[in-house]
Structure 1
Amino acid sequence: MARPAVSDADLLTRHIAGDPHAFSELVKRHRDRMWAVALRTLGDPDEAADAVQDAFVSAYRKAESFRGEAAVTTWLHRIVVNACLDRMRRKSVRPVADDELVEAAERDTPVLDQTAEREVSMEVSAALKLLPSDQRAALVLVDMMGYSVEDAAQVLEVPSGTVKSRCARGRAKLAPILSHLRNRSDLTRVSSAKGAELRDG
């Protein structure tokens, strides 16, 4: 009979107690999802890889700060998101003005083939980069990673109402830019497919 899997919380406890393998197991369990969050938040594979590495180093060092109020995965996601936001702040990413969003929405957009999901995904990623970091992080967690508003609020350490507000403002800014995708239902299909892929992976 197979032994029950050790819980994330038990692995973290073992790590704090000096088990040299426990944290590596946590990393193996969660690195793919952490990578997906970082990549969608930053939109750059190299930056995302660095952010995930920074986050896991921080989690390794700060394991004793985990108090158990939330799941270990929520705690890890919070560290990853903060690492991403720190990188965005260090790069001094300037929020895009509303008139620039309008200009982006009015640009001629090539007609996409129904099967060109990669191109659609790239368009969505590019559009996300136009948003302020707080709205981008909320939309990535809720709309792209499938988090509930309540879970996203725990990760971001803000009230649920703030997450809803950030998502609403972000969607309103993205709507004119991505309207050609919405009209063809491509955006919904890609988001759903990506979400299912991440949940199943």
Structure 2
Amino acid sequence: MTEEQRSDADLLAAHVAGDPEAFGVLFGRHRDRLWAVALRTLGDPEDAADALQDAMISAFRRASSWRGEAAVTTWLHRVVVNACLDRVRHEKIRTADPLPDDLETRLRSPERSPADPAAVAVADERRDLVLAALAELPAEQRAALVLVDMEGYPVAEVALMLDCAVGTVKSRCARGRARLALLLGVLREGGDTPAPGNPPAAPGVPSTDPSRAPPGVQPA
């Protein structure tokens, strides 16, 4: 059996047992989605890279603490989100800085871009507004929305990732969506404020309606 054919649990167990290649294979398998979560949670590529590195060092060293209560990927996401939130809580990131101009370019696959240059300009402008609004949310709400609405994980799994109750995840998402609805009111035609809980989705940006949320966009 090749490394690629081994399950996540087998790779993690092999790493704990001393296999020098297993953790690298495991991380490579999930790197794109972990990076997307870190980048969308923190908003700055350098901060996201630092948080992801801290998280993977922690996971590498604490691999034996995984007891199988949740999937390995859920455990990895928990480590990454905790690293991101730790950076926010300890004021290690520049929370007042605007999101970088190329943030969504890093997340968007080329084939997802509209062919019409005018459509590209409109989509990019709206996308920037959505990402900037997301950055205004409290870190815990932002993390919940990134995982549920942008990455498409079930609420129950996100509760495991964030180490909190299902009701807490739902509450954070509801408050975050309501706040986003106010911030994104400018996106609606005529400037009407969208109804709380259902902010408008800009072209190219995942909807905040979990029933329509697509799988996570991976970095290009």
Task: For residues 15-34 of structure 1, give each alpha carbon's deviation from its aligned partner in whole angstroms, at most 9, with x where no partner exists.
Answer: 00000000000111011110
Q: 2:57 maps to which residue?
A: 57
Task: For residues 168-192 of structure 1, give each alpha carbon's deviation from its aligned partner in whole angstroms, at most 9, with x where no partner exists.
Answer: 1011111121123355955265215
Q: Return the offset for 1:133.
A: 1.1
Contact 1:95 1:132 in 2 (8 A): no
CA RMSD of superposed structures (Å): 3.0
Q: Return the offset for 1:44.
A: 0.5
Which residue among 123, 128, 138 is the counterpart of 1:132? 138
Task: For residues 133-185 of structure 1, give each alpha carbon's deviation from its aligned partner in whole angstroms, at most 9, with x where no partner exists.
Answer: 11111111111111111111111111111111111101111112112335595
Give the distance between the partners of 1:155 and 1:49, measured in 2 at CA.
19
SS in 2 for 1:187: coil
Give the distance between the partners of 2:19 and 2:95, measured in 1 at CA.
44
Contact 1:182 1:188 in 2 (8 A): no
SS in 1 for 2:217: helix
Q: 2:113 maps to which residue?
A: none
Q: Return the offset for 1:4.
A: 7.7
Q: Which runs of 5+ in 1 are unaligned?
A: 97-112
Give the distance between the partners of 2:162 and 2:46, measured in 1 at CA.
23
Cα distance 1:161–1:188, how it changes in 2: closer, same or farther (>3 A)? Answer: farther
Give the distance between the partners of 2:66 and 2:2, measured in 1 at CA.
29
**Identity over aligned residues, as a percent?**
58
Cα distance 1:147–1:182, how it changes in 2: closer, same or farther (>3 A)? Answer: farther
Task: State the number of aligned residues.
Answer: 184
Is 2:187 the partner of 1:181?
Answer: yes
- Larger displacement relative to structure 2 (140-149 or 9-18): 140-149
Q: Which runs of 5+ in 2 are unaligned?
A: 97-117, 191-199
Contact 2:142 2:176 in 1 (8 A): yes
TM-score with structure 1 setting the length: 0.81
Q: How does 1:72-111 map to 2 (within 5 A)?
A: 72-91=72-91
Give the distance between the partners of 1:21 and 1:2, measured in 2 at CA.
12
Q: 1:120 maps to which residue?
A: 126
Q: Return the offset for 1:91.
A: 1.1
Task: For residues 58-97 of structure 1, give each alpha carbon's deviation from its aligned partner in whole angstroms, at most 9, with x where no partner exists.
Answer: 000000000000000000000000000001111178999x
TM-score with structure 2 setting the length: 0.74
Give the distance between the partners of 2:3 and 2:46, measured in 1 at CA.
38
**2:202 aligned partner, one-letter code:** L
**2:22 aligned partner, one-letter code:** A
**1:187 aligned partner, one-letter code:** A
Contact 1:52 1:83 in 2 (8 A): yes
Give the distance between the partners of 1:165 and 1:136, measured in 2 at CA.
12
Give the distance between the partners of 2:52 and 2:46, measured in 1 at CA.
10
Q: 2:149 maps to which residue?
A: 143
Q: 2:17 maps to which residue?
A: 17
